[in-house]
């Protein structure tokens, strides 16, 4: 039976209290808190990279392997970004606190795929010519926007460890990690700009909608908390 329930002290959510739902939640919570869940998450997060590596080595990336590698790593960066931003809403709405254990790892995988994406571009499009790369960043606005997103991701990745959190202090760390909103905006702009030449916006719209819902959820919670 669905019931309206107060969640924490900030918002109302609908939760299902059927015994099946409770059992599923209990199993998910126990599994996510277990020792095996982190290695499994780690391996699953590496699967796209492993598949791309295998497909490249076995010549299975289609007619333009370089383009396929650059685009696929870009897509996986964006998907990883959506996933990391979904963790807190999922944890709160479904009441699964143990999901928080995966936030850092999920964040680092965003960075991992972003760096692979940059390396694929730098290698296959630019032959690792740093001068040409700098000229391209200055010349093509969509590359500049993607590069800015990666630059902003760097302090987040570097400060995702306990020692950095301690050194910065929780408040400053939290402020710094709000950069993720700007990164999400830049990532969508980068994708939009890249597709603008082809007037192909369907996928861009899907990712923009997902990120808007995830960021809108946080904004709504922030505004409710501020009003109290
Ligand atoms: C957070 C950082 C980034 C995200 C989320 C991201 C995401 C994406 C996405 C989703 C695509 C389109 C893939 C498709 O068409 O299916 C793409 C394409 C591309 N990105 Fe990025 N990107 C990022 C950073 C960068 C950086 C740092 C560079 C280079 C300096 C870059 C260069 C490119 C290039 C060259 C393409 C392909 C353009 C083409 O094939 O015409 N991106 N990126």
Residue 18 falls inside a structural domain: no
Q: Give residue 126 CA to ligand 1 midpoint distance, Å.
A: 14
Q: How many domains does the chain have?
A: 1
10 in a structural domain: no
220: pLDDT strictly greater than 60: yes
Tell me the per-residue pLDDT of 140-185, one tens digit each, with 9 for 90 and over: 999 999 999 999 999 999 999 999 999 999 999 999 999 999 999 9
**Pocket residues: Cβ below 6 A from ligand 1:** 67, 70-71, 74-75, 77-78, 81, 114, 117-118, 121, 125, 143, 146-147, 149-150, 153, 187, 190-191, 194
Domain that holds residue 120: 37-227
Within a domain: 2: no
Q: Answer whether residue 1 is part of any domain.
A: no
Tens-digit pLDDT profile for residues 55-69 = 999 999 999 999 999
Residue 195 located in a structural domain: yes
Which residue out of 117, 150, 186 has the highest number of ligand 1 atoms within 8 Å of its CB and is therefore the one to mutate?
A: 117
**pLDDT range class, residue 14, cuts 50, 70, 90:** very low
Position 30 in a domain: no
DSSP annotation string for the chain: -EEEEEETTTEEEEEE--HHHHHHHHHHHHHHHSTTHHHHHHHHHHHHHHHHHHHHHTT-S-S-HHHHHHHHHHHHHHHHHHHHHHHHHHHHHTT-GGGGGGHHHHHHHHHHHHHHHHHHIIIIITTT-HHHHHHHHHH-HHHHHHHHHHHHHHHHHHT-SHHHHHHH-HHHHHHHHTHHHHHHHHHHHHHHHHHHTTT--HHHHHHHHHHHHHHHHHHHHHHHHHH-
Alpha carbon nearest to ligand 1 atom 41, residue:
194
Confidence label for 28 from pLDDT (cuts 50, 70 and 90): confident
Residue 52 falls within a domain, yes or no? yes
pLDDT per residue over 52-105, tens digit each?
Answer: 999 999 999 999 999 999 999 999 999 999 999 999 999 999 888 999 999 999
Query: Is 31 domain-assigned?
Result: no
């Amino acid at each position: 039976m669905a019931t309206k329930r107060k969640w924490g002290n900030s918002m109302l959510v609908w939760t299902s209290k059927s015994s099946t739902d409770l059992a599923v939640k209990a199993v998910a919570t126990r599994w996510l808190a277990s020792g095996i869940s982190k290695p499994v998450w780690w391996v699953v997060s590496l699967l796209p990279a492993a598949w791309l590596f295998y497909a490249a080595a076995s010549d299975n990336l289609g007619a333009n392997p370089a383009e396929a590698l650059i685009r696929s790593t870009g897509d996986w960066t964006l998907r990883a970004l959506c996933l990391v931003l979904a963790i807190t809403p999922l944890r709160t709405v479904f009441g699964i606190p143990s999901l928080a254990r995966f936030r850092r790892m999920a964040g680092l995988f965003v960075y991992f795929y972003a760096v692979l994406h940059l390396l694929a571009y730098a290698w296959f499009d630019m032959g690792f010519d740093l001068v040409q790369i700098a000229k391209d960043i200055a010349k093509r606005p969509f590359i500049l926007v993607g590069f800015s997103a990666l630059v902003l991701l760097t302090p987040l990745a570097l400060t995702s460890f306990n020692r950095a959190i301690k050194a910065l202090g929780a408040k400053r760390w939290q402020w710094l990690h709000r950069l993720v909103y700007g990164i999400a905006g830049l990532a969508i702009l980068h994708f939009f700009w890249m597709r603008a030449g082809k007037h192909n916006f369907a996928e861009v719209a899907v990712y923009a909608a997902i990120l808007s819902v995830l960021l809108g959820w946080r904004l709504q919670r922030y505004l409710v908390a501020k009003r109290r």
